[in-house]
Amino acid sequence: MPMLEEENTKKLKYYKLMEELKEQIVSGKLQAGDKLPSENELSRAYGVSRQTVRKALLILENAGYIYAEHGRGTFCSELVRHTRTSKNIAVVTTYLSDYIFPRVIQGIDHVMTEAGYSILLKNTKNSRRLEARCLEELLKKDIDGLIIEPSKSQIYCRHMNLYQKLDEFQIPYVFIQGCFRQMEDKPQILMDDCKGGYLITKYLIGLGHREILGVFKADDTQGQNRHKGYVRALQEAGLSYDPDHVVWFYTEDRAIHPYERIRQMAEAGERMDAVVCYNDQIAVEVIRALTEAGRSVPDDVSVTGYDNSFIAESSAVKLTTIAHPQEKLGEMAAEMLLSLMRDGQPAGGNDRILIEPELVIRDSCKSRKNNL
């Protein structure tokens, strides 16, 4: 019995020391990168043996609070930054000035401000290299959560290790607008872009269009899914899918390639009575290309956009498009992140939400039924 009491006393000593050191770390008295006192110093300061000190430090190291460097000593790890609530979240977007994101950020800000959080904004310019740099910087800051639109989400993510670090530090994150294939099981809020591409192509088919071109972005999941919907609508209507009727573009050539290719096709006499565009910006460029090639919109060719941005209403020809509830998407992403930070899971357990698309009809399309 005395031997058992002695073992419990030893256990209590190293456990009490571990708890005391952990409290200094969690409270912020010891910061990430700070060097801990040596084993001898801790032994003298707390009146315990070096063996007791080693046991306490081993528990903290296994839990990720500290790490040892041979010949240098023991230090507080980056995990320290994320063991206490900072009331800060980060939002990473592909473009801050894009016509979509100001409203998305407005929705996020509305929810987060009411919940008492501040927002740190980052912008990747749709570069995977800059996205990795943003994540590296954020891992060194005090944030409780992250909302991110991935850069070039259709392409394989080569910085998975940084997302794994977020998981390791227990920093929840929500994807918006797209998601890397390797992380399709992660929380995400997306437009149902496949259905959106389907709806707008089906609308054109219903107006009697048969020679329908498509212009889509190749390096993000939105473009790929909108293309899938376009193909589905054609096949459902018994119209053949022609790969030569699809113009693909990338982030780097988005300002030039769609315009140039559509103009070339129009000037070469390519048969077309409608063009389904990736978004409203591209639709405006397509209309410019067709007009300069001598084709009138919508009299000769119908053109559709996507996103229902201010461009759709302010362009010379008001665009038929798909509504994108930007502010609502931001609010939903913020609410999901709050649930993850508070409860460890989204409200209702649904971690993948698809927002239903809605067709908005304006002046850029014209019936071709008399031509059938």
Indicate the SS3 state at residue 89: strand
The predicted structure's pLDDT at residue 8: 47
pLDDT in tens, the chain (372 residues): 333 344 444 458 888 899 999 888 877 788 778 899 999 999 999 999 999 999 999 999 887 788 898 889 999 887 666 555 789 999 999 988 777 888 999 999 999 999 999 999 999 999 999 999 999 999 888 899 999 999 999 888 999 999 998 998 889 999 999 999 899 999 999 999 999 999 999 999 999 999 999 999 999 999 999 999 999 999 999 999 999 999 999 989 999 999 999 999 999 999 999 999 999 999 999 999 999 999 999 999 999 999 999 999 999 999 999 999 999 999 999 999 999 999 888 887 888 999 999 999 999 999 998 776
CATH number of 193-324+359-371: 3.40.50.2300
Q: Are 112 and 119 in contact (CB under 8 A)?
A: yes
Residue 58 phi/psi, 5-degree rounding, is -65, -40
The predicted structure's pLDDT at residue 124: 95
Indicate the SS3 state at residue 108: helix
CATH of 2-82, one of 1.20.1050.10, 1.20.1600.10, 3.90.1170.50, 1.10.10.10: 1.10.10.10
- Say what the pTM is: 0.77
Report domain extents, the chain.
2-82, 88-192+326-353, 193-324+359-371
List, in order, residues 6 or more apart from 217 with CB less than 8 Å away. 223, 248, 249, 250, 251, 254, 278
The predicted structure's pLDDT at residue 83: 56
Q: Do domains 2-82 and 88-192+326-353 have the same CATH topology?
A: no
Distance CA(228)–CA(181), nearest Å, equals 16
Instruction: Give the CATH architecture of domain 88-192+326-353.
Output: 3-Layer(aba) Sandwich (3.40)
Indicate the SS3 state at residue 164: helix
The predicted structure's pLDDT at residue 44: 93
Residue 121 phi/psi, 5-degree rounding, is -95, 135
The predicted structure's pLDDT at residue 6: 45
